[in-house]
Structure 1
Amino acid sequence: MASCKKTRVILLKNKTSPIDNYESECKNNAFEPVFVPLIKHTHVVKDFKNLLETIPNYLSTIEYIIITSQRTVESLNEAIIPMLTGEQKDSLFGKTVYTVGPATANFIRRSGFTNVKGGEDAGNGSVLADIIIHDLSIDLRARSLSELLFLVGETRRDIIPKKLHSKGIKVREVVTYKTEELNDSFKRFDSAMQSYNGNEMTLNWVVVFSPQGTKEITQYLSVNHRLLDSNLRIASIGPTTQQYLEDSNITSDIVSPKPDPKSLLHAIEVYQRSK
């Protein structure tokens, strides 16, 4: 019976530890989540360590930190914070942290930061930069700030620094992790695609979160999106990813209004109800 069929969601991302909100939200809403890791992450501590050694009181001189990736938070929790003194930890957790999306915001709060901004109100880096610019324009103390600390991955976009620099706001970028593409990503994806029974599934969704590590997969999807599997649908986590797919001749069936699990699954449900 059609009512017994399931919707399978293939997530082109690494599963977040210890809790992945996409997995939790899928299971809570009768979706079947399947993770296809595309990259591996390695913590980088030398840049942060060198910063503290070069400027011993650095953490006491800044008020704002920018974090836009859960991988950065993992690096903080697992590699950077353990090497700090008690005084440095207290100073770090007392900073205002600006971030993108509710999932990363919640992750940051669970790490011990109490003043987190952006998050639910910032769906992408450009919006977050606007929020920071607005906040600093009305914060008289901010006029005397030397810079904002932006904790980043080795590979990152420069939307936020460019926008802040255009307003005369200094940003120091410090690398906290690096990523490498996995050699067998397409094999994992192909295995996930082949392992479901089309008779038991209503639709088989592929969710693209980032261009990184997706070259072979997007080449496959650009040819086979509709030809081999009429039940296959494509979801983009946001407009940037949507544009990347369009440049690869792939039309997204849906674009998540916000980069979070609830928004994504709601968009999928709305699409399926309309068909």
Structure 2
Amino acid sequence: MAATTKTRNYVPVLLLKTKSQPEDTYEECFQRKGSTADSSDTASSEQSLTFEPHFVPVLEHARHTSTLVHLKNLLQTGELKQKYGGMVFTSQRAVEAWTEVVDDVEADDSAFQNRGSTSHGAAKDGSAHDPFAGLESLTPFPLYVVGPATERALQSLTERYDHAATEANAKTIYAHLNTSIHGAHTGNGANLASYILGHYNQFHREHWFNYFEAPRLPFIPLLGMSSENYGRKRLDGNDPRLTKKPLLFLVGEQRRDIIPKTLQEHAEGADKIAVDEVEVYRTEIMPSFDSDLKNIIERLDQDQSDDTRAVVVFSPQGSDVMLRRIGYLDSNDRPAERAKRREWKQGKTGSESPRWLLVAIGPTTRDYLRDKLGVEPDVCAQKPNPESLREGIETFLKEMCS
């Protein structure tokens, strides 16, 4: 884009993340004309900010093959639901790893077809007990997610194999989990942990009541299959199927421990929830990150059509590299003078142009920048989504630089 086509309200936005495919909601949001902070039709075009997003990939992810093989075996044999009462996802990478596991299991013809009947009943010789039959097949299996992106990915997975089950007139292995998705409204790990405490404990209490405490009618099962074992017979209170099972938390190498601590240490008595953390991927800074960032900044410097730039930090990892590149950290990784004497009021920075607007996607990243690196972000998005991010940047620039 030529410099002559840009206005003084043109703001490049460096998004320190890998661009999602086939579409990226952050790109769509920042390329959209008009303001989210002021959507009035009377707002003049001169007052509107024009953003140009630039993606700078920071992290690369590698799967833990041995862990995924173990998860595949648990799902394939039915042990997953026998051992765990649900799962927790707080990253897109974890959902992608889980999707790979499910796809591998469902693609394995021997795991699916050799179970005999289309309903996963007894084995062909009639001697083997089907691990998908009985109480486990009736009990819901909650999947707890931290936001709408993880919810959509898991919902897509569920719909895909529910559709496959309908087409084949039989349940797929994944459909037998009887999944339900919860927590997308929470937005962060702390809120999700609090939500899980309430939801999962209530779920367990209802499960206990339905299969142990509730009275049984002599001719109509209260809940579940109309069978002698599961419809009418009250389970013993010591039956392991009534025990509150741990949750399986798929994580990366770098993660906070807020969820396990809240569920296991901050809860009281019977409300404690055991959590098994399983590392399904590791995260590393891409070797090309610093050079990629340098190249984009140099291109913007050559263009010279902007005096304000925004850089959005999505993860603590790589933020020190970025701060050194824009001159906010010195060679000893201490806050540089340029970072210390930022002055946004009345359009002044007290430092050389261009002005860098430092933006954090959420409180975790904000706290890391401030507490670990000594640099206070200018903006922290109210919610970790594109609309909230753009609105925060627009509001700050209009209030502080007008």
Same fold (TM over 0.5): yes
Shift of 1:68: 0.6
The separation in 2 between residues aligned to 1:161 and 1:221, in whole angstroms, is 35
Q: CA deviation at 1:229?
A: 3.2
- 1:50 paired to 2:70: yes
1:115 aligns with 2:148: no
Deviation, structure 1 residue 255? 0.3
1:11–1:34: 8 Å Cα contact kept in structure 2? yes
Amino acid at match of 1:128: L
Q: 1:103 to 1:31 in 2, by over 3 A?
A: farther
| Aligned AA (1:124) | N
Structure 1 match to 2:145:
99
Q: Counterparts of 1:144 and 1:17 in 2: how far apart (Å)?
A: 42
- 1:205-227: CA deviation from partner (whole Å, max 9, x where unpaired): 00111111233223343334443
User: Which residue matches 1:270?
Assistant: 395
How many Å apart are 1:52 and its aligned residue?
Answer: 4.9
Cα deviations across residues 174-217 of structure 1 (Å, max 9, x unaligned)? 22221122223222112222211564336310011111123322
Other-structure match for 2:237? none
Q: Select the residue among 40, 44, 52 that pairs with 1:32.
A: 52
Does the CA contact (< 8 Å) of 1:203 and 1:232 recur in 2?
yes
| RMSD after superposition | 2.8
What TM-score, normalized to structure 1? 0.86
Give 5+ residue unaligned stretches, structure 1: none
Distance change >3 Å, CA 71–CA 104, structure 1 → 2: same
* Alpha-carbon spacing, 1:133–1:257, altered in 2? closer, same or farther (3 Å): same
Q: For 2:94, what is the secondary structure of its paired residue?
A: helix
CA distance in structure 1 between the aligned counterparts of 2:287 and 2:189, rounded to whole angstroms: 29
How many residues align? The count is 270
CA distance in 1, matches of 2:153, 2:367: 28
Deviation of the 1:75 alpha carbon: 2.1
Q: State the Cα distance separating 1:20 from its structure 2 match.
A: 2.2
Equivalents in 2 of 1:75, 1:53: separation in Å? 14
For residues 230-267 of structure 1, the C-alpha deviation after alignment (integer angstroms, 9 at most, x for no partner) is: 42100011111111111312121110011111111111
Q: Does the residue aligned with 1:221 lie in a helix, a strand or coil?
A: coil
Q: Which is greater in Rg?
A: 2
TM-score normalised by length of structure 2: 0.61
CA contact (8 A) 1:8 1:33 kept: yes
- Counterpart selection for 1:200 from 305, 310, 314: 305
Are residues 1:252 and 2:377 paired? yes
Question: Aligned to 2:22, what secondary structure does the other structure show?
Answer: coil
Alpha carbons of structure 1 residues 117 and 199: separation in structure 2 relative to 1, 3 Å = same
CA distance in 2, matches of 1:258, 1:252: 15
Equivalent residue for 1:176?
Answer: 280
The residue that corresponds to 1:221 in the other structure is 328
Whole-angstrom distance in 2 between the partners of 1:200 and 1:110: 42
Task: Provide the secondary structure at the position in 1 that maps to 2:12.
Answer: strand
* Contact 1:5/1:200 (8 A) holds in 2: no
| 2:139 is the counterpart of 1:74 | no
- Following TM superposition, by how much is the alpha carbon of 1:48 offset from its aligned partner in structure 2, in angstroms? 3.4
Q: Report sequence identity in percent.
A: 32
- The corresponding residue for 1:156 is 255
SS of alignment partner, residue 328 of structure 2 = helix
**Matches of 2:28 and 2:283 in 1, distance apart?**
25
Would you say 1:187 and 2:291 are equivalent positions? Answer: yes
Could you give the per-residue CA deviations for residues 74-129 of structure 1, whole angstroms, max 9, x where no partner exists?
A: 2233x3222113589xx8xx73221112233223323336732222x212101100
